[in-house]
Structure 1
């Protein structure tokens, strides 16, 4: 790990999720920040919205809705999708990853959107 990779990775995580994680002294944290965010999330070719959409599909297919909630929060925070679009994504995914997983994602969209409103998260900016 270089300090440059760590800084780039932490900065990129903040851009992607809207918050900066506390640093943890572990190999898992180092790989996540120094490689996944400093390198993979920073590559050209896909937008953050593209990456987020792929992640939502993959996580929903695996039934990892608790992890998908992190992506939903980031998507809403960064105005990559509206709440209505996320509900449409969940409905669409029901047909490809199973109704129970898609429904759980739909419920998670509602939960995350309500939590952000309660926390005073600013209204979503308009999509570009």
Structure 2
């Protein structure tokens, strides 16, 4: 079995690219060189098949994604998704802060304190760009 047999079709990659751009709203650019197979799989599966499903909107998927990221304590990825959510109008500043407050009850202060710091950084960054 060649590596090419597991890669998504060009059509799925194109659809995934459209959804990726809508999800991240310019916060993330294209994958760097050397990551093309990884990026093709991500675009063809996660975005063309996952985020594009109509059963949940981007806001709902974003909230689920933010909760998942918070659970593993990845403040940098939290910042990327939060910035995209704020720029895309999926969350307000107040809602972003409330997400951290709510998650603190389930994840604990040590896990969410870094998220709160990142949240404030991103809110300030988005406000400065407005």
Q: TM-score, normalised by structure 2?
A: 0.85
2:29 corresponds in structure 1 to 21
Gaps of 5+ in 2: 1-7
Question: Runs ≥4 in structure 1, deviation > 4 angstroms?
Answer: none
Q: Displacement of 1:49 after TM fit?
A: 0.7
Gaps of 5+ in 1: 123-128
Mean alpha-carbon deviation: is it higher for 81-90 or for 18-27? Answer: 18-27
Mean alpha-carbon deviation: is it higher for 15-24 or for 98-107? Answer: 15-24
Count the aligned residue pairs.
120
Higher relative contact order (CA 8 A, sep 6+): 2
Distance in 1 between residues matched to 2:14 and 2:98, nearest whole Å:
36
**Larger Rg computed on CA atoms:** 2
Distance in 2 between residues matched to 1:106 and 1:34, nearest whole Å:
32
Deviations 1:46-86 (A, max 9, x none): 11111111111111111111111111011101111101111
Q: TM-score, normalised by structure 1?
A: 0.86
1:126 corresponds in structure 2 to none
Distance in 1 between residues matched to 2:30 and 2:65, nearest whole Å:
23
Q: Per residue, is there more helix in 1 or in 2?
A: 2
Q: What RMSD over aligned residues (CA atoms) do the two structures have, in Å?
A: 1.5
